[in-house]
Amino acid sequence: MFADRRRDAVALTWDLTVHQLHQAFGRCVAAPSTEALDDVMSQELARTRLAAARYAVDDIQAALSRMAHGTYGICQQCGCSVTAHGLQGSPTAQRCATCQV
């Protein structure tokens, strides 16, 4: 039974990881390329996209580390559980709803 739960948790984490990366890149979608965009704007956009992707990957790696150490879903500030609803909304959540505010 534990193996089934772990397998389901890993599958859910992977699905949420892919979803979160998609969201991170989706927020940084560039306007269609045109002649009007100069090199400076293009470079800034590339830096913004790269920073968003790095941030998402760092969050995901931290969540996977918490899973490996058995602390995933536990608020890092107060030690209470992060609700399943909270983790579905933000699978890399580090704090419960009370501490998030």
CA–CA gap between residue 91 and residue 94 (Å, rounded): 9
- Does the predicted TM-score (pTM) go above 0.85? no
pLDDT in tens, 52-73: 888 999 999 999 999 999 999 9
Which residues on neighbouring strands pair with residue 81, listed in sequence order?
Answer: 74
Which residues on neighbouring strands pair with residue 74, listed in sequence order?
Answer: 81
The length of the chain, given as a count of residues: 101
Domain residue spans of the chain: 2-26+40-100
Q: Which CATH class is domain 2-26+40-100?
A: mainly alpha
Residues 24/33, Cβ–Cβ less than 8 Å: no
CA–CA gap between residue 7 and residue 93 (Å, rounded): 20
Residue with tokens 């505010």: 101
More confident residue, 73 or 16: 73
pLDDT mean across residues, the chain: 78
